[in-house]
Amino acid sequence: MRSSRGKERLIALVVLAVVLFTPPMVLLFDSPSETGISRLALYLFMAWGLVIALAAWLLEHPSEK
Amino acid sequence: MRTDAVVLTVAFGYLALLFVIAAWGDRRAEQGRSLIGSPTVYALSIAVYCTAWTFYGSVGRAAQFGPSFLLIYLGPTLAMLIAPFVIRKMVRIASAQRITSIADFISARYGKSASLGALVAIIALIGITPYIALQLKAITVSHAVLVNYPLAAEASIADESFWADKSFWVALVLAVFIILFGTRHLDASERHEGMVAAIAFESIIKLVAFLSVGIFTLFVMFNGPGDLFARVAATPELAGALSLDAVPGGATGWVGMLVLAMLAFITLPRQFQVMVVENVDERHIKRASWLFPLYLLAINVLVIPIAMAGMLLMSNGTDPDSFVLTLPLSAGLGGLPLLVFIGGLSAATSMVIVETIALSTMVSNQLVMPLLLRSRLLHLGSRGQLAGWLLGIRRVAIVLILLLGYLYHALIGDSYSLVTIGLVSFAAACQFAPAMLIGMYWRGATRDGAGLGLIAGTLIWAWTLLIPGFAQSGWLDAGFLEQGPWGLEWLRPYALFGLDTLDIYSHSLLWSLSANVGLLVGISLFSRQTPLEQTQAALFTEAMHPGLVQTTLWQGKTTRGELRALLDRYLGAGATARVFAGGPAASVSTAEPPPRDDQPASSALIARAEQALSGALGNASARVLINSLVRGEALDMESILSILDTTSETLEVNRRLEQKSSELARASEELRAANERLRELDRLKDEFVAMVSHELRTPLTSIRAFAEILRDSHALPEEKRVHFLDVVVLESQRLSRLIEEILDLARLESGRLTLEPQRLDLVALARHSVDAVHRLQENRGVVLEVAIEVDRAQVIGDPDRLEQVIINLLDNAGKFADHDAPRVRLRLYRHKTHYRLAVEDNGPGIAEDERERVFEKFHQIQRPGESADKTRGRPRGSGLGLPISRGIIAHLGGRLWVENASFLGGACLVMELPEAPSISSEEAQQE
């Protein structure tokens, strides 16, 4: 995390997470699927998992110096 | 299986296990083999965030409000993503200033203000105690559900007296636990390793318990998620439960809740305790910032299936908050409900333990100590006595806080649902966020601004959330909710200033945080900081600055004896000895006699003493104590200025200057190198001229000598005359060859060598060259072997020049081959996209360090072991052949170098040329 590039990447990830977790995006997925159940929860869990996976990759992967 | 005795045995057995783990953790810490020195344990201890509210309440919230329960965990996920910036800075500050609680943190930031610390402690106490009550309530309710099922839980709770209430006894056991493992040392900034180990263990238990219920529900009660959701879809009133419409406040409510959870995660006292105070190693934050969100994801992933299953299978009267228990109970199981109960117990107890430690530290250090310090009473205390008192205060605080929580639960807890209390507490903790976060990044935030912001924010919070809550419990007339107090409609708690489009939490958060931030910024812009405040602000905002020096702020105006007495009174003899022994002075003074007690204390010692006191009593009290002892101008203005200086813009300017000067140094270094190179070239030029003159003079001298003989000696025999004339001709040839070479070299070096590159076949050229030298070599007795391994070798080159190079190589090899049985071998082969022509001999070879020098001008290889006599028999080279060859080859885009001969064992000169790009046959014909 010492390298500024690593910091920039992490900040970009935070921005991505905020975009994924807040209304414009959330509203987009708040639509009923074929079964009539909203896709929202499924979308949230997938977005959440994606953010965690990216964070893990970013923070554990030693940034090249 | 579900008898009360079994449940109680298991529950208290579980608590006993916690004692064992904590005791083990403390023991390992004493032995220096810490249990908690791993990022995973750190992440698990942060999971104290998941309380009974998560364990039981998430399902309830999912059943009522759809996916909005996830916001409580998405917020912390966002907060953890920025943890490598924010939390790391907090940890850095806390360890530098020995900060022990969030109240201490805010008080220290704003000039170690005792009043601000007290304010934060009171707000925390008001805001968080209901949350503790909530945990105790969860224990009571879950126990009742477990024992009474299928009867309703309320049936037994209503007529129970407190000694039959299990949560009362649990609270008591927890009090003992916290006193044992939370107040072992006086220094609260020291880690409670045993406690943290137990918390991490509890986090595992609650996760396992919750996942077990989820998996049981999904795969035993239903045939996997497909089956469950098919049945949900078939039930019309459930199908819409997962959409955003179910979320209170819709899209704005969504954002409000996300912000609320994110801020609360950072500012809840228990989170501050585990994340900042108990942090062992800054580097753990990195791992935790993705591992903890992963934990949250895992504990939430099965919430929706459980909630849906509960709504499908349970009768309408069942409380959704207890679906986690009632689902396995309804399936007639015995063991699983017990596991769930233990999971809920672990979630509740872990929260109660950490929160109580955090609150008790605040109460003792920020509320009780400052009061005691004001009374004269304490100053009379004798040696070591106050240390015991301090621990006593903290222990009493622990019992009182738990008692308060229990009373809250017993008296008014029933009127709230679990989630309501949790979110109200969250909103209270959020009030700390502006003072903390803005204070960490904006140096200009002042104590007055922070204090007023906190007060205003908290009052609005109380008016919009806490008091309406009381009203809804029936404690107050609920009329003012609708009409506003005294008929003032714009003061309605749920629609302040007429804003009624938001859900109550977003509404409260919006107004309270606006007032809080507004006052903090506004007042700060129009008030002045004291010097101490300025210093602390600089130390906080620039905590990550590499140039930050923790200079000591005190000027030594007290004696060591007085200082020792002060520390003795408050910390006890052991801690005092450590303070006096620590620091660099100790190692130096071994030879000298130890300083006497009537000598003045050094400023470093005073600073260490203040730090030690801060760890035990809080920053504000420590400052008061040191102030009372250090006479005169206590604060060292010069150190303050130096701190402000190191952190201000001058440092930035300095950094830039440094960068510039290093650039300058680099440039001058480059200049120096260039200059040296020029000198070297100049020297080489002189040498070259000398060499050339020498080389030219040798044949010239002999020509002249023989010509003179011919001119002067008329009686020479004919045969001798012919011989002399031959010599003259030979030497002239040599001379003109030499001049030709020198001209070549000059052209090469100036870049004016005209080559006529064309496509040619190196095989043909090599054979041609071999033929040219064959006769000559044969005359010298040299055996010439030719190994051409390719049929065609198309390269681009000037045929005449290339032939000159090959002949030169063969000629050289012949000269340096073995004296008695000279052998030379030419090999032409392909190497990747290049053709290589290697000429080797069976001579002595060329030493490693000589290999590049043979390409220097006029370099003559001395053949080892041969006298000058013997060499004379051989033709001598001018010493220009190889440099010219290398120049020509380089011009054609190839390379020429020396390596070990692989076949004959002597030197091997390799010439490499790139393969010519293939051309179509048509073009080839045109050529």
Supply the pLDDT for residue B635.
57
- Token digits of residue B898: 């020396």
Supply the pLDDT for residue B676.
92
* A59–B67 CB contact, under 8 Å: no
Of B749, B768, B798, which residue constitutes the final position of a domain? B749
Supply the pLDDT for residue B158.
52
Strands B895-900 and B907-914: antiparallel
What is the Cα–Cα distance from B492 to B316, expressed in whole angstroms?
A: 33
**Averaged pLDDT, B816-825:** 85
Residues B131-179 have pLDDT tens digits of 888 888 888 888 888 887 776 655 555 555 666 677 788 888 888 888 8
Q: Is the pLDDT of residue A26 over 70?
A: yes
Supply the pLDDT for residue B585.
45
- Neighbour-count burial of A29, counting CB atoms closer than 10 A to its CB (0-12 exposed, 13-18 middle, 19+ buried): middle
Q: Is the pLDDT of residue B271 over 60?
A: yes
**Averaged pLDDT, B225-234:** 83
Query: Which chain A positions have a beta carbon within 8 Å of B287's beta carbon?
Result: 59-60
* A45–B301 CB contact, under 8 Å: yes
Position B719 in a domain:
yes
- Could you tell me if B807 and B820 lie in one domain? yes
CB atoms within 10 A of CB B890: 12
- Could you tell me if B74 and B154 lie in one domain? yes
* B293–A27 CB contact, under 8 Å: no
> What's the number of domains chain B is made of?
4
Position B506 in a domain:
no
Query: Which chain B positions have a beta carbon within 8 Å of A43's beta carbon?
Result: none
- Could you give the count of Cα atoms lying within 13 Å of B245 in the half-sphere of its Cβ? 11
* B244–A14 CB contact, under 8 Å: no
Which of B241-250, B756-765, B804-813 has the weakest average pLDDT? B241-250
Position B432 in a domain:
no
CB B559 within 8 A of CB B567: no
* Parent domain of B658: 654-749
Query: Which chain A positions have a beta carbon within 8 Å of B251's beta carbon?
Result: 23, 26-27
Q: Tell me how close the Cα of A64 comes to any Cα of chain B, in angstroms.
A: 17
- Which residues contact residue B289 at a Cβ distance below 8 angstroms, ignoring those fewer than 6 apart? A55, A59, B80, B81, B83, B84
- Could you tell me if B575 and B681 lie in one domain? no
Which chain A residue's Cα is nearest to B88? A1
Mean of the per-residue pLDDT values of chain A: 81
* A44–B286 CB contact, under 8 Å: no
Supply the pLDDT for residue B75.
93
At residue B914, φ and ψ (nearest 5 deg) are -70, 150
Report the run of H or E that residue B511 belongs to, with start and end. Answer: helix B504-525
Q: Which of B449, B39, B435, B436 is nearest to B272 (CA)?
A: B436
Identify the CATH number of the domain in which residue B802 sits.
Answer: 3.30.565.10
Query: Which chain A positions have a beta carbon within 8 Å of B286's beta carbon?
Result: 1, 59
Q: Give strand pairing partners of B836.
A: B829, B912
Interface residues on B facing A, Cβ-Cβ cutoff 8 A: 66-67, 70, 74, 77-78, 81-82, 84-85, 229-230, 232-233, 239-240, 242-244, 251, 254-255, 258, 286-287, 289-291, 293-294, 297, 301, 304
Q: Which of B71, B298, B322 is nearest to B204 (CA)?
A: B298
- Could you tell me if B611 and B672 lie in one domain? no
* A45–B77 CB contact, under 8 Å: no
Confidence of residue B632 (pLDDT cuts 50, 70, 90): low
Supply the pLDDT for residue B588.
43
Position B128 in a domain:
yes
* A44–B84 CB contact, under 8 Å: no
* A45–B78 CB contact, under 8 Å: no
- Could you tell me if B195 and B320 lie in one domain? yes
Residues B370-412 have pLDDT tens digits of 887 777 555 544 445 677 777 888 889 999 999 988 888 777 6
What is the Cα–Cα distance from B330 to B150, expressed in whole angstroms?
A: 8
Q: Which of B373, B280, B358 is nearest to B104 (CA)?
A: B358
- Could you tell me if B739 and B610 lie in one domain? no
DSSP state, residue A63: P
- Could you tell me if B888 and B795 lie in one domain? yes
Residues B515-551 have pLDDT tens digits of 999 999 999 999 888 878 888 888 888 877 766 655 5
Which one has a higher pLDDT value, B416 or B220? Answer: B220
Which chain A residue's Cα is nearest to B81? A14
Of B730, B749, B768, which residue constitutes the final position of a domain? B749
CB atoms within 10 A of CB B540: 26
Position B453 in a domain:
no
Which chain B residue's Cα is nearest to A43? B67
* B84–A51 CB contact, under 8 Å: no
Give the closest of A30, A37, A59 to B244, CB-based: A30
Query: Which chain A positions have a beta carbon within 8 Å of B283's beta carbon?
Result: none
- Neighbour-count burial of B248, counting CB atoms closer than 10 A to its CB (0-12 exposed, 13-18 middle, 19+ buried): middle
- Could you tell me if B181 and B87 lie in one domain? yes
Residue B96 in 3-state DSSP? helix
Which amino acid, B904? L
Cα separations in angstroms, B625 against B13, B365, B567, B579, B613: 45, 13, 10, 16, 9
- Could you tell me if B102 and B214 lie in one domain? yes
Which one has a higher pLDDT value, B764 or B576? Answer: B764
Give the closest of A21, A40, A55 to B290, CB-based: A55
**Averaged pLDDT, B441-468:** 91
Of B749, B774, B795, which residue constitutes the final position of a domain? B749
Placement of tokens 């919009």 in the chain:
B464
Q: Tell me how close the Cα of B292 comes to any Cα of chain A, in angstroms.
A: 9
Q: Give strand pairing partners of B794.
A: B761
Which amino acid, B269? P
Supply the pLDDT for residue B670.
93
Which of B126-130, B303-307, B695-699, B719-723 has the weakest average pLDDT? B695-699
Residue by residue, DSSP assigns A7-57 as HHHHHHHHHHHHHHHSHHHHHHH-SB-TTSSBSHHHHHHHHHHHHHHHHHH
CB B384 within 8 A of CB B568: yes
Position B728 in a domain:
yes
Which chain B residue's Cα is nearest to A20? B74
Give the closest of A23, A30, A56 to B243, CB-based: A30
- Could you tell me if B146 and B284 lie in one domain? yes
**Number of CB pairs, chain A paired with chain B, less than 8 A apart:** 96
Residues B191-206 have pLDDT tens digits of 788 889 999 999 999 9
Strands B895-900 and B823-831: unpaired
- Could you tell me if B578 and B705 lie in one domain? no
- Which residues contact residue A42 at a Cβ distance below 8 angstroms, ignoring those fewer than 6 apart? none
ipTM value of the model?
A: 0.93
- Could you tell me if B289 and B174 lie in one domain? yes
Which one has a higher pLDDT value, B23 or B602? Answer: B23
Q: Tell me how close the Cα of B294 comes to any Cα of chain A, in angstroms.
A: 7
Q: Which of B78, B232, B243, B299 is most worth mutating to test chain A (most A CB atoms within 10 A of its CB)?
A: B243
